[in-house]
Amino acid sequence: MQVSAQFPIDVTLSINGGEYLGFVRTNGKFIISAVPSGSYVLNVNHADLHFAPLRIEISQSGQYRARTLNHLRPAKVIRLTYPLELKPLQRRKYFLDREQWNIMDYLLNPMTLLMVVPLVLMLLLPLLIRDPETQREIENMQLLQIPPTMPDLTDMLTSYLANKRSPEKKKQPAIAEKPQKKKH
């Protein structure tokens, strides 16, 4: 087999995963010899370039037939002519691109949705209801009213942060009189 190539010389070719090997010559051609008749997969290996695998079929009479290898649709046959011209599909990517910050990642986060969607529904529901009786019932609901027995949270936080106790009657320290010494 001969192939004209326009790629670096450090390319190796293997048939059936290394069963038969070939190397590209300085003129851009390669030959893999002593391959018996049969159907083989030709892989082109390079560190920086990616090539599509080829299906090579060699008949008993020594005739060659090459086609592209398509694992998804094996019935789709695209025949290739000799000499084979192997062109790289793309450069290999060894590293992934760094993810960029995106506001949609935060908005579509399940925790954000659990907090924001009910809040939006509470704000929009009274605007969407047009029935006056239902609006009055919603206004009269006592779900958002704080019971009078509940301590005021702002006073509790202020006293805690100011390191003060709630106002109480302060006890006056008792001044104890010292017993006077008798003079002799």
pLDDT digits (tens, 9 = 90+) for 13-35: 888 888 888 888 877 788 888 88
User: What are φ and ψ of residue 21, in 5° steps?
Assistant: -120, 150
Closest CA to 69 of 52, 83, 82: 52
pLDDT band at 180 (very low <50, low <70, confident <90, very high): low
The predicted pLDDT at position 110 comes to 92
pLDDT tens digits, one per residue of 137-177:
877 775 566 667 777 778 888 888 887 555 555 555 556 56
Q: Is the bond preceding 8 in cis, omega lying within 30 degrees of 0?
A: no
* Ordered structural domains, the chain, with CATH: 3-91 (2.60.40), 101-144 (no CATH)
For the chain, give me the number of helices (H) and strands (E)?
4, 10
Q: Taking residues 91-98, what's their average pLDDT?
A: 88
The per-residue pLDDT of the chain, averaged, comes to 79
Residue 19: strand, helix, or coil: coil
Q: Encode pLDDT of 144-155 as tens digits.
A: 666 677 777 788
- State yes or no: pLDDT of 125 exceeds 60: yes
Rounded to 5°, angle at Cα 128 from 125 and 133: 90
Asked if 66 and 52 count as a contact pair (C-beta separation under 8 A), the reply is no
Q: What is the pTM of this model?
A: 0.48
pLDDT of residue 111: 92
Residue % of the chain over a pLDDT of 90 = 2
Mean pLDDT of 132-137: 82
Mean pLDDT is lowest, of 19-33, 84-98, 104-118, 128-142, for 128-142
What is the per-residue pLDDT for 144? 61
Residue 98 clears pLDDT 50, i.e. is over it:
yes
pLDDT at 54: 87
Q: Give pLDDT, residue 5.
A: 44
User: Stretch 54-83: mean pLDDT, rounded?
Assistant: 82
